[in-house]
């Protein structure tokens, strides 16, 4: 795939993590202290930031990655992988004497997973890197950030950007209040929403969680609910539940990243559609991803959004 084929298209810039995924498959997940015999081992490319960037690129997004990889064999291979997927890598920085980030993933037959990450070079993504990429960050139509790289770096980038600032507040943590007023969109899953609101978030109490997060300064909040779809609300839009199709899950790893990448792409390429349909299309992309093994390799390329209306309901 050629990188950034349409230079005049809206820019989707991802500031975040790149990691190499070492994945084992087993009948179930091990309990603490237990050793299981697995059925397969794979090595692939992951990291929440790069996953989201590749998901957007595969859907036709004009994507740019700002990240750090190690000056090792995996760093160079990762850059090649991004190029092959249509991502601009002119702001991918090599970090000497540090390993490229890695993730150790275990996947059960029912699709559940456990993940341990070692940040490596991701931990070196700095405010200086933001300064070096300042023009790109400022002009991005959508800037995506997560929490697998230093928080102060993402915060500085969000202060600079003049477009849509989309924060995927993952992995879960509750000390990010400083960035929330800078968020055009906050996207979290149930666990992450629970951590931020001190609520046990579910569909039943989603309105309370949405309102609490909106009061923290976010303009639009989306809580993803796995096979139950997603709920969202903004200052202008009432709380809404968007449904998605239930499918047998093969591997749920990276499904949330597929959602974020799709959401960013459709926000700039399908902006004439209402937000509940954009969220529904992003849910569909995530659903497609769980039917295949792997992360970036599971993201659809030949996908036509809005081929059917997505069901939704207003919440009380």
Q: Give yes or no for a contact between 30 and 233, defined as CB atoms under 8 angstroms apart.
A: no
**Would you state the structure tokens that stand for residue 249, as one six-digit string?**
């899950």
Half-sphere exposure of 62 (CA within 13 A, CB side): 15
Give the model's pLDDT for residue 294: 83
All residues at 6 or more sequence positions from 93 whose CB lies less than 8 Å from its CB, including other chains: 67, 68, 69, 125, 129, 132
Q: Which domain holds residue 144?
A: 11-17+49-94+123-314
Average pLDDT over every residue of 36-48 = 94
pLDDT exceeds 90 at position 4: no
**Would you state the structure tokens that stand for residue 220, as one six-digit string?**
């639009």
Say whether 257 is catalytic.
yes
- The answer to whether residue 34 is domain-embedded is no
Q: Is 273 exposed, middle or buried (0-12, 13-18, 19+ CB in 10 A)?
A: middle
Residues 197-212 pLDDT 10s = 999 999 899 999 999 9
- The answer to whether residue 213 is domain-embedded is yes
- The answer to whether residue 260 is domain-embedded is yes
Average pLDDT over every residue of 84-106 = 95
Q: Give yes or no for a contact between 85 and 54, defined as CB atoms under 8 angstroms apart.
A: yes
Q: Give yes or no for a contact between 198 and 205, defined as CB atoms under 8 angstroms apart.
A: no
User: What CATH number is attached to the domain comprising 135?
Assistant: 3.40.1190.20
Confidence of residue 3 (pLDDT cuts 50, 70, 90): very low
- The answer to whether residue 255 is domain-embedded is yes
- The answer to whether residue 165 is domain-embedded is yes
pTM: 0.91
Residues 181-200 pLDDT 10s = 999 999 999 999 999 999 99
pLDDT exceeds 80 at position 38: yes
- The answer to whether residue 43 is domain-embedded is no
- The answer to whether residue 40 is domain-embedded is no
pLDDT exceeds 90 at position 75: yes
Q: Give yes or no for a contact between 32 and 238, defined as CB atoms under 8 angstroms apart.
A: no
**Which candidate in 88, 200, 257, 272 is catalytic?**
257
Give the model's pLDDT for residue 1: 44
- The answer to whether residue 241 is domain-embedded is yes
Indicate the SS3 state at residue 292: coil
61: which DSSP letter? -
Residues 215-231 pLDDT 10s = 999 999 999 999 999 99
In the chain, the number of structural domains is 1
């Amino acid at each position: 795939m050629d990188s950034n084929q349409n230079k005049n298209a809206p820019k989707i810039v991802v500031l975040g993590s790149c990691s190499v995924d070492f994945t084992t498959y087993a009948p179930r997940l091990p309990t603490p202290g237990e050793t299981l015999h697995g059925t397969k081992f794979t090595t692939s490319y992951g990291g929440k930031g790069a996953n989201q960037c590749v998901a957007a690129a595969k859907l036709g997004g004009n994507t740019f990655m700002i990240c750090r990889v190690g000056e090792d064999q995996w760093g160079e291979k990762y850059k090649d992988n991004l190029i092959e997927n249509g991502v601009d890598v002119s702001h991918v920085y090599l970090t000497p004497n540090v390993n490229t980030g890695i993730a150790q993933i275990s996947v059960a037959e029912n699709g559940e997973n456990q993940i341990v990450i070692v940040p490596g070079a991701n931990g070196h993504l700095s405010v200086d890197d933001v300064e070096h990429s300042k023009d790109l960050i400022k002009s991005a139509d959508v800037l995506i950030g997560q929490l697998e790289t230093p928080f102060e770096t993402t915060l500085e980038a969000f202060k600079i950007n003049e477009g849509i600032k989309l924060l995927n507040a993952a992995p879960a943590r509750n000390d990010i209040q400083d960035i929330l007023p800078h968020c055009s969109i906050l996207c979290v899953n149930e666990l992450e929403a629970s951590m931020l609101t001190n609520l046990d978030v579910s569909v039943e109490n989603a309105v309370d969680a949405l309102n609490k997060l909106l009061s923290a300064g976010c303009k639009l909040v989306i809580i993803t609910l796995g096979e139950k779809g997603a709920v969202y609300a903004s200052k202008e839009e009432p709380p809404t539940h968007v449904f998605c199709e239930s499918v047998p899950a093969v591997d749920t790893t990276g499904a949330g990243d597929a959602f974020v990448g799709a959401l960013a792409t459709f926000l700039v390429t399908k902006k004439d559609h209402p937000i509940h349909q954009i969220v529904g299309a992003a849910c569909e992309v995530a659903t497609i991803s769980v039917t295949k093994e792997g992360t970036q390799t599971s993201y659809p390329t030949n996908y036509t959004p809005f081929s059917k209306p997505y069901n939704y309901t207003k919440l009380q």
